[in-house]
Chain A
Amino acid sequence: MRVAYWPGCVSRGFTPELHGSMAKVAPLLDIELVEMDRAACCGAGVIAEHNQELADTLNARTFALAQQTDGELMMNICSTCQGAQTECQQRLDANDAYRDHVNETLASEGLRYERGLTNKNFLWLLVEEIGLAALQAKVTRPLSNLRVGPFYGCYIVRPMDQLGIDDDHPRHRYLQWVIEALGGTVVDYAGVYKCCGFPIITMNREASLRQAGRHLGDALDADADCLVTPCPLCHLNLDLQQPLAEKVIGRELGMPVLHLPQLVGLALGLEPRQLGMSKHVVRPASVIDWSAAVVGARADAQA
């Protein structure tokens, strides 16, 4: 399927391995990425806090650019983009007069957003468009014996109504389902749906790092080999800042954190280096052997 692809900012900034691994994984899943290279930052909730209309206009601009492509829908790879964009889209779609007002601003660029765009995170697309059975059928290196803790990121699980999470779309279970489809073992721990702390890193550094450290520690206590997240901002606090979080909570952690496309890529047979796993601050030594095998798979002879 062809999708209007919105990689977000951080996947091309401090977590380049996310954008890189998505590009490697997409062809294996028959996803054709039409990259939206003129779209701008979603505002991550911060611009909305500064000026709501500005955030809504920036995202309406992104949606309009997506509608100019021939993609079936828009796909993002960032929980924060999903949440911030959905919030803006809810306002734009709810009120014709407001949408017209925002479109007036976009007219100078020749853009116009029409109500009702579908915007799905890669996680949702995996389950709802590709399907778990089809995903499972593509697995060449099952993640047997690999104990994976899901870490969603707030913006992709709350508010449930706004994100369309209901009995028919239990999107707050998808990460667990994907881990299982890839052959891994889901680790349930206290932090699955909690906040990584990143939004307050410049305002209350200690509380922010304590959040990250606590969830990593809880995952460690539950015997997780690694975490997986669809959110690059969470990845910043959980991986890049993990050495600092260790200091705040006074505990060694060494918990590798994988981006969702990396976990999928490993199971689809890609090599760790192709997936940029050498770029992580916490080396995923418990996940992969640098001779390129998945640790779990190595332990499971028949896999």
Chain B
Amino acid sequence: MTRSLSGYTLRLRRFDPESGKGPYWQEFKVELEGHRSVLDAILKLRDEVDGSIGIRCSCRQAICGSCGVRINDKPGLACHTHLERAAQAASEGSRVIQVEPMGNMPVIKDLIVDMDAVHWKKIRRVTPWLINKQPVPEREYIVSHESMVDVTQSMGCIQCGACVSDCLSMEVDPEFIGPAQLAKAYRFVGDPRDARQYERLKDLAEDPHGIYDCTHCWMCIDACPKDVAPMSQIMRLRRLAGSEHQIEDRNNGHRHEHAFTENIARNGLLHEADLLSDSYGGKLSPRAVPVLLGSLPVILRALMRRKITLGHALLHPYRRRYKDLRQLFESIERRERRYELNLYVSGYDGAEPAQAAGNGPAMVATGTSGVGAGQAPREEGEDI
């Protein structure tokens, strides 16, 4: 059986630092089957049309992570994106496949970015190796399967940089450690053989560009071609740093999380006026005063416009409806074991996932190994 060829238009962002010219867009036509990859098309163009097109690639099967680019404004692997699918996703029905280098990293040439200057430098920042517990056993460490399952998701990372490319925290704070990097950090923090869980967490919590600098925008979760969900790993790091190790960081990260939770236990609905000051340690805390003073102009304006009333800011009109809520908080927080469900690990009951936000199946179960009923209870202070 022969497969039919289709014509595709690729719009590549070109840049050659030696030319002395700025970056520009160039369109190419290519004929290939729709199931072939964007990388196949670019390599065909390089072989047959313009040998100067620069792209980095190696395995061509979504394992090596070399060909990270942005396709139609979204980061991904060129080798892992079908031409037809990319044409369908092109803006406003144009079918023009736009390919550009990844973001948040300097461009070396055409589609090649300097991974070393940003990605790898930041990976080194998180001490990406195991620091053995002592004494080192004569032969191998024996750890239970269950205790390693937790880190399998972060081990799936192929270091392609797609999440770094579109990280919105890094866009405004280039010093942010980064999503792939913090996922890598969790890989060792969550490893039962590592001896430095507390020190790693303390370091990442205290860094102004560490775990509390992530803005929780979900961008890295959608960007990752390997379902690593870096943001979820960052939340696990926060949960361990705050709830388990009670690390009081200088960035108000744990304080904010604690203030928020306590605010809801007390009020049922968020009381914003309290949250702001409590996140800094209370209205009279030395950390809170400058922030509150700095916010005074907007607070006054909000009061003047009757956006906020003084009564509402000081009291909470809804609080009395929720007086039984604290009991629910306490019953869960008192548990000896903290329940965490990671669907990447546990998968979904039955063949079909439940309705996603009310419009039928939209999720794919990626679980590789079930753990009992799907729950992965963490033993507090578990030591293996």
Mark out the residues of chain B between 294 and 323 whose CB falls within 8 Å of any chain A CB in the assembled complex.
Answer: 294-295, 297-298, 301-302, 305-308, 312, 318, 321-322
Contacting pair B373 A97 (CB below 8 A)? yes
What chain A residues lie within 8 Å of B359 (beta carbons)? 128, 164, 168-169
Q: How many A-B residue pairs have CB under 8 A?
A: 259
| Cβ B269 vs Cβ A207 within 8 A | no
Known contacts A41-B268, A95-B374, A164-B359; A50/B261 CB under 8 A = yes
Contact with A along B229-260 (1 / 0, CB 8 A): 00000010011001100000001110011101
A203 to B216, CA, bound (A): 12
User: Which of A9, A82, A214 is close to B270, meaning CB atoms less than 8 Å apart?
Assistant: A9
From known contacts A13-B312, A48-B235, A203-B213, infer whether A98 and B295 are also in contact, taking CB-CB under 8 Å.
no
- Closest approach, in angstroms, between the C-beta of A159 and any C-beta of chain B? 5
1/0 per position for B267-311, CB-CB distance to A under 8 A? 011111000100110000000000100110110011001111000
Interface residues of B (CB under 8 A from A): 168-169, 171-173, 176, 208-209, 212-219, 221-222, 235, 238-239, 242-243, 251-253, 256-258, 260-261, 264, 268-272, 276, 279-280, 291, 294-295, 297-298, 301-302, 305-308, 312, 318, 321-322, 324-325, 327-329, 331-333, 335, 338-341, 343, 346-349, 353-360, 362-364, 373-375
- Pair B349/A210 contact, Cβ less than 8 Å: no
Query: What distance in Å separates the Cβ of A156 from its nearest Cβ neighbour in chain B?
Result: 10
- List 9 contacting pairs A-B, 8 Å CB cutoff, sorted by A: A40-B322, A52-B341, A82-B357, A159-B222, A162-B362, A164-B362, A203-B256, A204-B251, A279-B305
Residues of A within 8 A of B318 (CB): 12
Of A9, A164, A204, the residue contacting B269 (CB under 8 A) is: A9
Say if the beta carbon of A21 comes within 8 Å of chain B.
Answer: no
Chain B residues lying within 8 Å of A112, measured Cβ to Cβ, are none
Dominant SS among interface residues on chain A: helix
Mask, A194-218, CB within 8 Å of B = 1, is 1101011011110110110010000
The distance in angstroms between the C-alpha atoms of A169 and B295, with both chains bound, is 40
When C-beta atoms are compared, the residue in chain B nearest to A204 turns out to be B213
Asked if B217 and A61 make an inter-chain contact with CB atoms under 8 angstroms apart, the answer reads: no
**B363 surroundings in chain A (CB, below 8 A):** 90, 161-162
What separation, in Å, do the CA atoms of A51 and B321 have in the docked complex?
23
Contact across chains for A14 and B302 when beta carbons are under 8 A apart: yes
For the complex of A and B, the 7 pairs showing the least CB-CB separation, nearest first, are: A93-B354, A118-B358, A97-B373, A158-B218, A9-B270, A195-B217, A164-B356
Known interface pairs A10-B270, A82-B357, A244-B294; 7 further A-B residue pairs with C-beta atoms within 8 A, sorted by A's residue number: A14-B272, A41-B268, A47-B261, A51-B261, A116-B355, A202-B276, A202-B279
Alpha-carbon separation in the docked complex, A161 to B360 (Å): 11
Partner of A203, one of B251, B272, B301, B305: B251
Residue of B nearest to A99 (CB): B349
How far is B221's CA from A162's CA once the two chains are assembled, in angstroms?
A: 11
